[in-house]
Structure 1
Amino acid sequence: MGRVQDKVALVTGGASGIGLSSAIILAKEGAKVVIADFNVEGAKEAAEKINAEGGTASGIFLDAGQEQSIKDAIDYTVNTYGTINVLYNNVGLTNLQKDLDVVNIDLDEWDRLMNVNTKSVLIGSRYAIPHMIKAGGGSIINTASMAAFAGDAIRSAYGASKAAVVNLTRYIAAQYGKDHIRCNGVAPGLILTPAAERNMPPAVLDIFKKFNALPYNGEPEDIGYTVLFLASDESKYITGQTIQVEGGHYLSNPSIADFNAYMESVKNN
């Protein structure tokens, strides 16, 4: 028996990166998975791969900025597989050209990110919860970010939207816990998704690794297995929490990496 055997899971933003890894892991552990993504061809391709390897999955279109599209994804999941036990709200956007500091940020971009990154979590949960109540409970998992816990020179809207996700996670957990519905978040640090490796020069990836407590950067599977744990009954007494999966990047005094380098240079001289 798998760790989520026969549970029905909807993964938004599941065609690539963290969402894809999570969908594959959930399916390998026995879940029936609906992969919903704006890249519908990628979602269908991912589902076909899961089915070819003996799992059960479907790929569908999702525009996380549109309420009706989110409702349609929930309805498809329930109509196809009979219920929904796990909702993984994973969609998230950022735009480094428009999401700038507070003085210079594009205000339309602020609204777009709040709509997609935060409101989609609200809407997905809004339509999934009644079905979960009928099923006797469920697990809602939200992708937050370490940007929710620290300031940055840019990405003001992204960080604020993800901070809202962290607190919305608590509110959902508090409001529906008595219905046996758990709600938790996952806050990734830098994860070596194909997009990250494509868009970040090796020197930038090395900077992140330098400030990690661990001597490496994260992989999509590191988030996927955290999602699996939160989706499974192994986490049945955990709710309202956001698990930080970030290699200890934010763990230490920010000067410690440079201090260690200084001490090493003194020792070598």
Structure 2
Amino acid sequence: MDRLKDKVAIITGAGSGIGLAAARLMSHEGAKVVVADYDAASAEAGARALTEAGGEALPCTVDVTDDTSVGDMVEAAVREYGRLDVLCNHVGGTDPRKDLDLLRLDMDEFGRAVDRNVRSTLIGSRHAVPHMIRGGGGSIINTASVAGLVGDVLQISYGAVKAAVVNITKSIAVQYGPQNIRCNAVAPGAIMTPALLDNLPDEVIEALKGYNALPYLGAPEDIGHTMVFLASDEARYLTGQLLVVDGGMTSQSPAVPGRRAMLPPVE
């Protein structure tokens, strides 16, 4: 219950899914949480849920692609709680209807993908780092994706921008490690978020399970717990790293599902 006691955390995209799960778990561990989201109602609802559960939370409406909006978010956190210890740059994603393969990619969508994933990570970190330095250190946690590690037949923009997030993470870790600021990234695999359920048909979701080493797809809390660890002092010697949380999806050969069917059952 006290792994994040007295720490102040900002989580963007905290109105639903992984961001909300991380907010709940960090609050449960004693953090004061800024629940930041583009949708004001979602931010309000998320913060209210945390306070009703006994935590301290501040709702904040933010456009993570806008420098002024992000600056206002960070200043609101410091004004309310006096410091900033943790920043989760969680907002991202692309529109799967427009982020297709090389020849059919909507180039305007590529620009939006850069803004939502890369620019947002840079802006958030630029505003957070000075306050973390003044506070003696901090932890920045960026949301990447397994899509940034492998090729795919669709969403070429998404893979590209998430790969960029990984490199930005390493650079921030190197540049501000001497000021005791850690920066790590989490690469989720297939997680049962509202976005995944809305964008993938049931048969595709079921097929994805066959490509995991574990027999199920992850829940938002699985990524949230990883973020709690990275925010805590338990991870004080961990920086510049990418933690792949994907149920083993990227660890196995594509031939595994078919070859597994050849095995006799384990008694």
The TM-score, its normalising length taken from structure 1, stands at 0.96
> Are positions 1:189 and 2:169 aligned together?
no
Displacement of 1:120 in angstroms is: 0.6
Show structure 2 runs of 5+ residues with no match: none
Which whole-Å CA distance do the structure 1 matches of 2:241 and 2:199 have between them?
A: 31
> Are positions 1:121 and 2:95 aligned together?
no
> Are positions 1:148 and 2:171 aligned together?
no
Which whole-Å CA distance do the structure 2 matches of 1:217 and 1:209 have between them?
A: 6
Secondary structure at 1:21's aligned position in 2? helix
Percent identity, aligned pairs only?
49
Over the aligned positions, Cα root-mean-square deviation in angstroms equals 1.1
User: 1:50 aligns to what?
Assistant: 50
Which whole-Å CA distance do the structure 1 matches of 2:202 and 2:261 have between them?
A: 20
Secondary structure at 1:250's aligned position in 2? helix
Secondary structure at 1:2's aligned position in 2? coil
- Give the 4+ runs in structure 1 shifted more than 6 A: none
Displacement of 1:263 in angstroms is: 4.5
Secondary structure at 1:198's aligned position in 2? helix
User: 1:246 aligns to what?
Assistant: 246
Which whole-Å CA distance do the structure 1 matches of 2:93 and 2:187 have between them?
A: 14
User: 1:84 aligns to what?
Assistant: 84
Report if aligned partners of 2:187, 2:244 keep a CA contact under 8 Å in 1.
Answer: yes
Number of residue pairs matched?
265
Report if aligned partners of 2:65, 2:123 keep a CA contact under 8 Å in 1.
Answer: no
User: 1:60 aligns to what?
Assistant: 60
User: 1:108 aligns to what?
Assistant: 108
- 1:1-269 maps to which residues of 2 (within 5 A)? 2-263=2-263
Secondary structure at 1:141's aligned position in 2? strand
Which whole-Å CA distance do the structure 1 matches of 2:195 and 2:125 have between them?
A: 27
Secondary structure at 1:110's aligned position in 2? helix
Displacement of 1:202 in angstroms is: 2.2
Instruction: Identify which range, 99-108 or 162-171, moves more after superposition.
Output: 99-108
Aligned letter for 1:89? N
Report if aligned partners of 2:190, 2:208 keep a CA contact under 8 Å in 1.
Answer: yes
